[in-house]
Structure 1
Amino acid sequence: MIVKKNIKFYKNLEYLKSAVILNILVFTLFLITGSLSAQMNTMQTFDKAMDLRYKKPDSSIILFQKSHESYLQNKDTINAVKSLMELSLVYANKAQYANSYNVLWNALLLTDNTNLITTKSVIYNRLGSIYNYFKREDKALEYLKKALEIHKSLVKENKIPASGLVPYYFSITTSFRELKKTELAQIYLDSSYLYFSKSKPAIAESFLEFETANILALQNENEKALKIFERIYPWFQENQPSYLVLFYKFWGDVYLNLMQLDKSETLYKKALKASEEYKSHIDFTPLIHEKLTELYIKQNDYVNAFKNLQIAKDLDAKFFDSRSPYNHFIMEIKDSYRLEKDRQEKLIQAQHLRQLEQEDKIKNLQRIILLVSVVFILIIGYFYIKNLRAKHKAEKQLIRRNKELEIKKAKELLELKNKELAASALQLIEKDEFMKNLKTKIREGEPTIKKSELNKILRSVSINNTSSWDEFKLRFIEVNKEFYDKIFEKYPKLSQGDQKICALIKLNMSSKEMSRLLGISVESVHTSRHRIRKKMNLSRDINLEDYINSL
């Protein structure tokens, strides 16, 4: 009976476990489904906002804000930033630049602690464009160049192709062109063409050609500009119809420069119509009305000129009051990014101060210990260095003495060997004299000796004489190697006969002794000495013997 109850209990327990596991799985599946459903709804909201950007921009703004909040709740920073970027564009198209500016700074704040480097550079680029609208040249170029530098570093690291630099060079080009700085605009446009790639274009080539035409128009090259406008017009009509607001306006400017007023008027009106149709580039409409004012004045149509001037004035006041130097603060009011940065820095500073206060006593104690240690080390170091210097001085003196002794011994040995050489040279002289006498006696001697045998004996005596000199030369070089190396290096043009004379001068031999040893006349020795002086380029006041002995 107990066994049956236990079995029943375990069966119920197993059933309970299965039920709990099943409930957990169902709940998990419900959470996952709910999360996926929420993500799908957010994506649909974002896609709907993208569709309504130009048709209903106000509705698009609300939807982008909702998608941004939803992405933040789901901790999807990338898409949250993407929503803000698109929202800033809608605000910009509506000429609500203060809102666009604020949204971009919020996007920058989100990217601050992420690896979204490319997105950050896009934000800097757009901030630069907004500053450009408000004639803040310094700030505009600061952010535009910041964006360019980020992309340059990405190209250097091989993370993006070089063609990715083109949109950033292009943005700086348009800024300089709007500021009427045509030379700088042309330089950056040339850079855009330099990095442009037809296989992987980061921006359509038609945009670059459009800017080329605008710069040509500013340089009064209107006919060239017209040809470019006519060539690229079909592309913009098909691919970028909202951009036709700008296209028609600048095209009209060229005709206005050429005083073709009817064509210019038609294009200006087309630009206004495109702006109304696509809800795009509304900020350009005041400029178009200003150009129409200029056109009607040239036609003497002052009624229409006044009408367009009033419209331009009203629109300019509506969109660009903050271009005035007195209203630059509008661009700084909603700087969330910098406010947050300041707050974080202040918090870090406060924490740092508290740490300093806590560590102050410990640091003071460490300083005292360090000071005592340094003084102690300095005292030890002083005595150690003093002792080391004394030891080093004694060693130097000992080395110097030993060196002097070695030099003295070497000199004595050299002198001894040179004396031996001199003695050897004298022996050679005596031997040569003996040989000469022998030759004389042989020639004058017994007539029965055959002439061939006589010549053989004489040749033997000459060979003997030459080998004796070679032996003397080898011994001289061995003893005076340094002298021989120096004289050969310094005066390579000296002949062997010259070298012999130098060697004998080194042995302090007189001209007479040299003539006897070498078997030449004293005059020949003097001639050789004169030749040596000339080769050595010695002046008359220099003694040849002293000079050779100094080598």
Structure 2
Amino acid sequence: MVALTLRCLFISIAFNFLYPMDLWGNQNHPIQLPQVSNLQLFDLENDFNAEQDSIPENLERAYKQYLENGDSLQAIRILNNLAGFYSNRANYDKSYEAYWKALLLSDEMNNLETKAAAYNGIGILYSLYERREEALDYYLKALELRRNLVMENLGSDLLLARSYFSLAIHYRYEKEFKTARNYLDSCYNVRSWDSIPALNKAFYDLEGAFLQYHFGEIEASIPQILQQLQIFESYKSQYLVVIYSFLGDIYYDTRNFEQSEYYYLMSLHAGKHFMKHLNFVPDVYIKLSRLYAKTEKFESAFESLKQANEINYILYSSRSPNNRHLLEIQDNYRIEKSKIEQLAKEKRLASLEHEQSVWFLKSLIFVIGMVFILIVGILIVRFLIVKHRAEKKILENNRMLEQKQSREILEIKNKELTAFTIQLIEKEEMLANIKTELKAQKKAAEGKDNRDIEKIIRKIDHNSNQYWEEFEARFIAVNNQFYENLKKEFPKLSPYDLKICALVKLNFSGKEMAKLLGISVESVNTSRYRLRKKLGLNREEGLWEFISKF
């Protein structure tokens, strides 16, 4: 029975939190309850079995109107509100039916928001009948959907906070108070906390006070509950049945039986006045019976217990007309889904039977076609391979022939250049001899006018420079990339080093290089040695072999 007490409290809190706006005219009218001093029994004949007002009819009419207008989303929301109304009025069969209908429509529209609301409502109904694992499963489904909506920026994190709140209450009933506190803290950590209405925040704060009580902080919880009581008296009076009952529990635990009786009676008056949270009423009678027995008011204790049993029969007995279908858990949603799937299977089977007669022929044609395509493909590939190989061989032969011709032409040109250079060297030697003789004559004719001799010597020197420039021009014409490649590989080579490299490439001896450059053989050898160091050659590497690569 204690578990039932907690379950009733959870249902009342969860429903009023999920539907904080009073749809039935009591939003801003605080209750004016009389002072109570005696037990006032419910009229079981009328209070629980008669329709309270025209609200269900209006909601049903609105639901049909939205469907006719094609506004399925608003129709689903009306269904969820209608299911919540029936749950609050203890008509669980109709509540269950409305939630499953809303879930079916949500699936058809693939609307996760209304689907999450239906899951949460179904979880409440399972919780009422001690189906704890199923209830938790639906709460977690609702939470997962709302998390996905928030992550994709398609839903408000205020709805996510409501799912955290439902799980906090669930775990409090399971006496897993630390887990309950964690989920409640998650409510306070949502990004849009500042925009949550004050009434909604009051539900969170009230739940925090309840948890304080369960953690043994009784004295600290009472002021918090009384503070929230003022808010609910102003804005959500029908919820007083829950708060008054909880205050009655606290005062009972502190052995203040007079205050405890007062709040229990106030809870019953609130329930009878608003005819809401009727699932909570029988447990209040049980608590009163316990209190009267404790204070030796045995007649009142008996009447209270009798009322509790009769109301429990109406609300929860499997023989009650209100609950016979619910306890059978006729899962309309799953039945409908199963019917749809079965129909799809039957249609598919008929289609397969119709196609079976031509399947073999199609397969045979397909196989023959694939074989034909495969053979043609193989022949085409072989032809392309042979053609490619032949073309590649022709290109390779042409390339080798061109390279051979280029090498031969380069060798011929270099031979011509070598011959020309040798002629230059011979001319240079001849001019050097003439120059020597002229200098001797100049010395012999010392003191005479030697301007003609000086003029001839300068002309010889000028011709020597022209010879080198002509050589260099012809060398570059034959080996047009030689200097560029050398500079790219060895940027620190001087113009003089490049001259030495050019003469080495033509395989001139040191003596020939000395004559062409107008220096001694020793200077040439020194230049070659320095060049090897700049090129980074060791003793085993030949200078001509290295330079010939460029």
TM-score range, shorter chain: 0.5 to 0.7
Which residue is 2:145 aligned to?
A: 146
Distance 1:209 1:347, change over 3 A: closer
Distance in 2 of aligned mates of 1:273 and 1:279: 14
Match of 1:385 among 376, 381, 387: 381
> After the TM superposition, which of the residue ranges 89-98 and 205-214 deviates more from structure 2?
205-214
Q: Is the CA contact 1:98–1:330 (under 8 Å) kept in the aligned structure 2? A: yes
Contact 1:68 1:81 in 2 (8 A): no
Contact 2:184–2:204 under 8 Å retained in 1: no
Identify the residue that residue 50 of structure 1 maps to in structure 2: 24
Residue equivalent to 2:104: 109
Secondary structure at 2:367's aligned position in 1?
helix
Are 1:214 and 1:250, in contact at CA under 8 Å, matched by a contact in 2? no
Query: What residue is the counterpart of 1:369 in the other structure?
Result: 365
1:377 is matched by which residue type in structure 2? I
Contact map agreement 1:248 1:268 (CA 8 A) in 2: no
Q: CA deviation at 1:352?
A: 1.6
Letter of the aligned partner of 1:104 in structure 2? Y
Rounded Cα–Cα distance in structure 1 between residues aligned with 2:80 and 2:91: 14
Counterpart mapping for 1:470-549 below 5 A: 471=473, 474-475=476-477, 478=480, 480=482, 484-485=484-485, 487-519=486-518, 521-534=523-536, 541-549=540-548
Aligned mate of 1:185, from 178, 183, 186:
183
Q: Which residue does 2:114 correspond to in 1?
A: 119
Separation (CA, whole Å) in 2 of partners of 1:463 and 1:224: 112
Structure 1 contact 502–548 (Cα < 8 Å) conserved: yes
For the structure 1 residues 172 and 226, does the alpha-carbon distance in structure 2 shift closer, same or farther, using more than 3 Å as the test? same
Cα distance in structure 1, aligned partners of 2:206 and 2:433: 110
CA offsets 1:196-243 (integer angstroms, 9 cap, x no match): 564xx5897726963995799599897999998898776555444455
Distance 1:71 1:330, change over 3 A: closer
Secondary structure of the structure 1 residue equivalent to 2:132: coil
Larger deviation: 411-420 or 334-343?
A: 411-420
2:51 aligned partner: 59
Q: Distance in 2 between matches of 1:271 and 1:445?
A: 148
Whether contact under 8 Å (1:85, 1:103) holds in the other structure is yes
The 1-side partners of 2:228 and 2:54 are apart by 36
* Distance change (3 Å), C-alpha of 1:545 and 1:455: closer
* Structure 1 residues 387-426: Cα deviation after superposition (integer angstroms, max 9, x where no partner): 3333333223222222221222222233333434444554
| Partners of 1:233 and 1:91 in 2: CA distance | 25
2: CA distance, partners of 1:144 / 1:428:
99
Aligned partner of residue 50 in structure 1, secondary structure = coil
Q: 8 Å contact 1:172–1:185 — kept in the other structure?
A: yes
Matched, 1:166 2:130: no
Contact kept, 8 Å, 1:91 with 1:97, in 2: the verdict is yes
Contact between 1:248 and 1:271, CA under 8 Å: does it hold in 2? yes
Q: What whole-Å deviation, never above 9, does each CA across 1:298-327 have from its counterpart, x for those lacking one?
A: xxx9999xx9xx99x9899998999xxxxx
Tell me which moved more, 409-418 or 340-349.
409-418
- Give the aligned residue type for 1:368: L
1:448 alignment counterpart: 450
Contact kept? 2:89, 2:276, Cα under 8 Å = yes
- Quick one: structure 1 residues 388 and 244, their matched pair in 2 at CA, closer, same or farther if it must change by over 3 Å? same
Q: Tell me the residue number matched to 2:409.
A: 413
Aligned position for 1:100:
95
Change (3 A) 1:444 1:88: farther
Deviations 1:24-60 (A, max 9, x none): xxxxxxxxxxxxxxxxxxxxxxx99834999978625
- Report the CA distance shift for 1:51/1:240 in structure 2 as closer, same or farther (over 3 A): closer
1:175 aligns with 2:149: no
Query: Which has a greater percent of helix?
Result: 1
**What secondary structure, in the 3-state scheme, does the structure 1 residue paired with 2:480 have?**
helix
Aligned counterparts of 1:229 and 1:428: Cα–Cα separation in 2: 118
1:368 Cα shift?
A: 2.0
Moved more, 368-377 or 113-122: 113-122
- Which residue identity is paired with 1:396? K
Could you list the runs of 5+ residues in structure 1 that have no partner in the other structure? 1-46, 157-161, 323-328
Tell me, in whole angstroms, the C-alpha distance in 2 between the residues paired with 1:399 and 1:425. Answer: 38
Per-residue deviation, residues 353-375 of structure 1 (Å, max 9, x unmatched): 11211221122222222222223
Give the drift of 1:340: 0.8
Aligned in 2, Cα 1:466/1:406: closer, same or farther, shift over 3 Å?
closer
**Distance change (3 Å), C-alpha of 1:474 and 1:123:** farther
Aligned with residue 135 of structure 1, among 126, 132, 142: 132
Measured in 2, the distance between the counterparts of 1:72 and 1:51 equals 23
Query: Separation in 1 of the partners of 2:106 and 2:487?
Result: 77
Deviation (angstroms), 1:285: 8.2
Q: RCO higher in 1 or 2 (8 Å CA, sep ≥ 6)? A: 2
* % identical equivalent positions: 27
Could you say if the C-alpha distance between residues 185 and 462 of structure 1 is closer, same or farther in structure 2, counting changes exceeding 3 Å? farther
Structure 1 residues 471 and 70 mapped into 2: Cα distance closer, same or farther (>3 Å)? closer
* Gap change, CA 1:230 and 1:66, over 3 Å in 2: closer
Distance 1:226 1:488 in 2: 94
Is the Cα contact below 8 Å between 2:90 and 2:279 reproduced in 1? yes
Q: CA deviation at 1:339?
A: 0.9
Q: Does 1:206 align with 2:180?
A: no
* RMSD of equivalent CA atoms: 5.7
Within 2, Cα distance between the matches of 1:238 and 1:213? Answer: 20
1:343 is displaced (CA, Å) by 0.4
1:250, 1:504 → 2: CA distance? 112
Change (3 A) 1:463 1:539: closer
What corresponds to 1:30 in structure 2? Answer: none
Residue identity in the other structure for 2:163: S
The equivalent of 1:35 in structure 2 is: none
TM-score, scaled to structure 1: 0.62
Deviation string for 1:115-163 (max 9, x for gaps)? 866434433454456567753334421232124424654x36xxxxx6x
Query: 1:401 — aligned with what?
Result: 397
Counterparts of 1:428 and 1:214, CA distance in 2: 114
How far, CA to CA, are the matches of 1:219 and 1:449 in structure 2? 129
CA contact (8 A) 2:142 2:163 kept: no
CA distance in 1, matches of 2:214, 2:428: 101
